[in-house]
Chains A and B, each alone.
Chain A
Amino acid sequence: MKKITFIKAFREGDIFSKISYLIWGLSNMVRGQIVKGLAFLAIEITYIIFMITSGVNHIENLLTLGTQEQGMVFNEEIGIYEIAQGDNSMLFLLYGVATIVYSLVVIAVWIISVGSGERARIAKENGHHVPGFVDECKALLDKKIYRTFLAIPFVGILVFTITPLIYMILMAFTNYDANHQPPGNLFKWVGLETFRQILSANNNISATFWPVLGWTLVWGVIATFSCYFLGMFLAILINSDGIRGKKIWRTIFMLTMAIPAFVSLLVVSTMLGSNGIINVLLQKWGFTTQALPFLTNGTWAKVTIIIVNLWIGIPATMLMVTGILMNIPKELYESAKIDGAGPVKTFTKITFPYMLFITTPYLITNLIGNFNNFGVIYFMTGGGPSTLDYYKGAGKTDLLVTWLYKLTKDNNDFNYAAALGIIIFVLSATISLITYSRSKAIKDEEGFQ
């Protein structure tokens, strides 16, 4: 079967095919696919009506983000000043983005409709059976089952992930901060100004950004690799031959994983407070005379969080590694033993390379997950202890994500938050791209099939 492209279809198609570029679905209808053709047509007409009534307006507003500021207008009839509703930049932005996404979807439908009409024409000219509506529906459960299966996820992701994401990305290029809050104020496009403010070294925001970025990187690397290696060690220990009651040991460590993370984190953070049980016991046992600042001193808090993260992260790695350990071919170990390899050599030459090969994707996901590890920071310290050196409310243990959260939730500095989000994305994407492109496990998608 020949491949049909959008432009080729125009060159090769008959008159109906050509007209169906304007009147969608015509080509289908002429070849007997009435329902399908009408559906295409209906989509086209709805879109045109939408664009005429409001769509064009939305696009226009998206370019200006509103010109009419809310203000006081003198009402001559009553003789007082009244609030005149101005433009709402935020809604303009949202409607504009929604219109663009809608348009993109409709364009996709257009391309599909042309292809579909062309396929029907070729089938008819070659004397093949042109699939009717019932046939097409049957195909949706057979060859084209992916269309049925992916329809709901596709719409869901489009509406609740992609549209909001575009909206937020665009926000990074506006001045939608605490001083420009709709509906009272307008905000406008400012280009890369927000990024300049975050990255350039001469204001409070960039004085916060660089240390927070530094801590995010340090935290991500330490948290990931400490959990990875210690978890692997624990899994190997429990899995070794002489240990009995493997299930019981595993269960003990898994308890922390099974308990919802926010519960265990809340509990641990209350235990570590200056009146918490750990400080109480340390004083009772005579280890210290005054409460230790586990979560209230910047450096202490950082170390504490890393250790508490071990408590949660080691079992997770242990569980994953256990599954892989069982899959390592036993013969490898047997022949290593015959060759006189000790436990250390067995680990560095067999277990670890095998593990690394399989777990590289896990390791990257984990690293990125830790850069974005909102839960641990939020429930343990809430980003604190806060410091005056940082921008509004940011604290010593804040990661980029928790700072982003504070910027949106507490400060309403949406443009900075959006810019931070983009920076986090660039960070994650760079790391992933470098490692994924080198990892064999990804390339070898069909290795097992």
Chain B
Amino acid sequence: MNTNHTIGMNIGYRKGTLVSGLLFFVALFLPFIKDGDHNRNMVGLLPKLLTADMRVTGKILYLAIPVLALVLLGVGIALFMRPSRKMAICYSIVAALETALTVFTLFSSKSLLDKAHVLEHKFMVSHFGFGFWIMLVCGFVTLFCAMRTAKVHPGYILLTILSVIWLFPITWIILTAFRAESGYYVGYFFPKGLTFNNFVQLFSDTSLIHFGKWWTNTLLVATCNCILTSLIVLMTAFSLSKTRFGGRMMLMKIMLIIGMFPGFMSMVAVYNILKGIGIAQTLGALILVNAAGAAMGYYIVKGFFDTIPKSLDEAALLDGATKWQVFTKITIPMSKPVIIYTVLTSFIGPWGDYIFPSMMLGDNQSQYTVALGLNWLTDFRRIDAYYTQFAAGALLISLPIVILFVALQRFYVEGMSGAVKG
């Protein structure tokens, strides 16, 4: 065997490639679909399909499967006889195409076959014969083996599938935000018309949707929370990590214990206290209470501070620095990732915070934050009229946060892993 060709290959898998490719070919002659009382195989179905009144793309789809199966078999044999990396990659591409087509058949058969009246009855997925399922499985197995042979990581298959699942709801909400037809129930995925109107309405239709107001409210809360929480968390973490005093362990234990009570259990009481001060149902109350509890979230920052070598502080203290200088000149400059992480999360927090504002603000709609407003829009009495606007609003607040988050994910990872790399 010519070793030059097999460099960068995993030829042990080529047998699997051939076998599954062969099986795919054989499956063409196995029961593909139930038509009335008898089963038809792919080859038997083809003449009926090609003569039916079907869109050309549909015909191409069903024709492409057996054709590609032949190509697959041919390339498979060639690969087995004379393995080369180029051939393996070529094989992978064909297998990927074939698999994609088979998956596509699974989802599009109903609309294609029903419209063309190919079958005697309405099509259901359960009408697929075991030949089809063998094709589906073999498609993936062939692809897997082919990628292994070409030494391409087969993890791509799984990642692609997962990405589709993960992006599905996100795609849906983006499409809905631009959908021209209003309403919650529509019988299709892709909108018939696209428009910017939903976004315009969010700001212009002030009779019901005060989106602009909600947005500025949330921005105010988020900004204040970001500044106050970051300062408080940094100071608390510094005190607990870098200074030693009587009752330090006790303080940490108490905070740990308090943290185990469900947070909103005491909200009724908090509400009563705020009412006593006279600021209940205002944004000020929300900011105040957020800041008051901020210290409880010191853990991550303290964990990071703990990894800054003690010797640095000691050296500075020996040189006559005060603890305040240690804080501002050593600890803060060395903790950039975790500080950015704290600032970021405390800014993002209020945008998604629902339960707490809902308890604090009650029915005072002029003080609503985005989360409260959007949830209010999806109430069953309003969802039908405002679903597209809801989607537009959801998109509008998610976009900046997503951009912030993605741009700063580095700091998240670094903030978690400490100041000194192992």
Interface residues of A (CB under 8 A from B): 90-91, 94, 141-146, 148-150, 152-154, 156-157, 159-165, 167-168, 234, 237-238, 240-243, 249-264, 266-268, 270-271, 275, 277, 280-281, 284-287, 289, 311, 315, 319-320, 322-324, 326-327, 329, 368, 372, 374-375, 378-379, 401, 404-405, 408-409, 414, 417-418, 421, 424-425, 428-429, 432, 445-446, 448-449
CA distance A337 to B241 in the complex (A): 39
A448-B306 CB under 8 A given contacts A161-B296, A284-B110, A326-B413: yes
Assuming the contacts A153-B295, A319-B409, A319-B412, asked whether A141 and B324 have C-beta atoms less than 8 A apart, the reply is yes
Docked complex Cα distance between A75 and B418 (Å)? 74
A267 to chain B, nearest CB (A): 5
What are the residues of chain B within 8 A of A148 when measuring CB–CB? 235
A222 to chain B, nearest CB (A): 19
Q: CB-nearest residue of chain A relative to B187? A: A280
* Selected interface stretch from B46-54, B70-78, B90-98, B398-406: B398-406
Give chain B nearest CB distance to A343 CB in angstroms. Answer: 11
Asked whether any CB of chain A lies closer than 8 Å to the CB of B289, the reply is: yes
Asked whether, in the complex, the Cβ of A432 is within 8 Å of the Cβ of B260, the reply is yes
Contact A94-B261, Cβ < 8 Å, known A160-B293, A326-B413? no
Interface pair B163/A252, CB less than 8 Å apart: yes
Among A160, A161, A168, A257, contact of B268 (Cβ-Cβ < 8 Å): A168
Query: How many angstroms between the C-alpha atoms of A254 and B359 in the bound complex?
Result: 30
The answer for the CA separation of A315 and B413 in the assembled complex, in Å, is 13
How far, in whole Å, are A446 and B256 apart by their CA atoms in the complex?
Answer: 19
Tell me the interface secondary structure of chain B in the complex.
helix
Q: How large is the interface on B (under 10, 10 to 19, 20 to 34, 35 or more residues)?
A: 35 or more
B35 at the interface (CB under 8 A from A): no
Stretch at the interface among B11-19, B22-30, B60-68, B349-357: B349-357
Q: Which residues of B contact A417 (CB under 8 A)?
A: 265
Contact between B243 and A327 (Cβ–Cβ < 8 Å)?
no
Measured CA separation A336–B225 after assembly (Å):
48
Please indicate the chain A residues that have their CB under 8 angstroms from the CB of B417 in the complex.
323-324, 326-327
Chain A contacts for B124, CB-based, 8 A: 286-287, 289
**Minimum C-beta distance from B112 to chain A (A):** 11
Q: Beyond A165-B258, A165-B261, A446-B306, is A281–B189 a contact (Cβ under 8 Å)?
A: yes
B189 touches A277 (CB 8 A): yes
Q: List 13 A–B pairs whose Cβ atoms lie within 8 Å, in order of A's numbering.
A: A153-B294, A157-B295, A160-B270, A164-B268, A165-B266, A168-B268, A243-B156, A258-B404, A275-B185, A315-B166, A326-B413, A418-B265, A428-B260
* B264 and A153 within 8 A (CB): no
CA of A428 to CA of B256, assembled, Å: 11
Residue of B nearest to A138 (CB): B322
Instruction: For B159, list chain A residues within 8 Å (CB).
Output: 237-238, 243, 249
B397 at the interface (CB under 8 A from A): yes
Partner-A contacts on B (CB < 8 A): 106-111, 122-125, 151-153, 155-156, 158-159, 162-163, 165-167, 169-170, 172-173, 184-189, 232, 235-236, 238-239, 243, 245, 248, 251, 255-258, 260-270, 272-273, 276, 288-289, 291-296, 306-310, 322-324, 327, 348, 351-352, 354-355, 359, 371, 374-375, 378, 383, 387, 390-391, 394, 397-398, 401-402, 404-406, 409, 412-414, 416-418, 420-422
A268 touches B260 (CB 8 A): no
Instruction: Check A319–B166 contact: CB distance below 8 A.
Output: no
Q: Give bound CA distance, A353 to B219, whole Å.
A: 43
CA distance A238 to B162 in the complex (A): 12
